[in-house]
Amino acid sequence: MDINELVKLAKNGEANAFGELYDLFANKIFKFIKLKIQNPEEAEDVLQEVFIKAYKGLGKLKLEDLNFNAWLYRVASNTINDKFRKKYRTPEIVNIDETFDIADKYSLQEEVQVKSDMESLQIVFNKLPELYKQVLELRFIEEMSLEEIAKILNKSNLSIRLIQFRALKKVRELSKNV
């Protein structure tokens, strides 16, 4: 069934239609969440929150010219930002030994020597700032337009172009060190 048809049914309270929408988008949205929230359990909680928020917000959605995909990413982006805002207000105490372990684990020189190109690119990608990762993911993996990304991340078209440019530049810089 067409996405907009499913949205229409879900808007009328059809839980099964909303379930189908979940099946279609859950994995993509989860990957997007994981770009910022590495802990899988935390990311699952955020995924659940995103879909509950989306369900609550269905009433506000206008079906004409609807881009449900972009709208759902926008809900996800806002939920992630809310989560971070709350986290900054109540910062967790981080064990300093664990931090050193992470630094050792992701030390570029040691790790990349034995990895294939693909793996080294993944490591480089993981090293990027979250916003760069989000833009690259949405632009080249989810193949969204600059306008869509601008809407999702609540930024101007120009700033998305700039972030995209800087992100690619950073990928090249980091790749040289690998």
Partner 1 sequence: MFNINKYNKEIEGIKKLRNAHVGLSMEKQVMVKNKILNEIARLPIENTSSGFWVKYKLKHLQYVLVFGLGVAIFGGTAYASSMALPGEILYPVKRVTEKLQLNVAVSEESKANLQAKFAEKRLKELGEIQKQKKLNMQDDESKLSTSTQPVLVSTTTPALEKPEVKIRAVKFKESKVEKDAKLEAQVEVKEALINLRKLQKKMSEQGQEARAKALGENILKLKNKAIEKDIKEDEEEIGERKEQNNFMKFEQETKLEIKERD
Residues lying near partner 1 in the complex (CB under 8 A) are found at 11, 13, 15, 18-19, 22-23, 26-27, 30-31, 34, 44, 47-48, 51-52, 55-60, 117-118, 121-122, 125, 136-137, 140-141, 161-162, 164-165, 168-169, 171-172, 175
Nearer to partner 1, 57 or 129 (CB): 57
Q: How many angstroms separate the first and last alpha carbons of the chain?
A: 46
d(CA 158, CA 31): 25
Sign of CA dihedral 106, 40, 139, 88: negative
Nearer to partner 1 (CB atom), residue 14 or residue 100 = 14
* CA–CA dist 134, 139 (Å, integer): 8
d(CA 144, CA 68): 13
Q: Which is nearer to partner 1, 67 or 142 (CB)?
A: 142
* Smallest separation, CB 161 to partner 1 (Å): 5
Nearer to partner 1, 80 or 136 (CB): 136
Please report how close the Cβ of residue 72 comes to partner 1 at its closest, in angstroms.
13
Exposure string over 5-40, b if 16+ CB within 10 A, otherwise e:
ebbbbbbeeeeebbebbbeebeebbbebbbbbbeee
Cα–Cα distance measured from residue 32 to residue 15, given in angstroms and rounded to the nearest whole number: 24
Smallest distance from the beta carbon of 29 to partner 1, in angstroms? 9
State the nearest-atom distance from the C-beta of 94 to partner 1, in Å.
Answer: 23
CB of residue 30 to partner 1, shortest distance in Å? 4
Shorter beta-carbon distance to partner 1: residue 4 or 27? 27
Q: Which CB atom, from 3 or from 171, has the smaller least distance to partner 1?
A: 171
Token readout for 107 is 């030390």
Residue 110 beta carbon to partner 1: minimum distance, rounded to whole angstroms: 21
CA angle 152, 155, 157 (to 5 degrees): 100
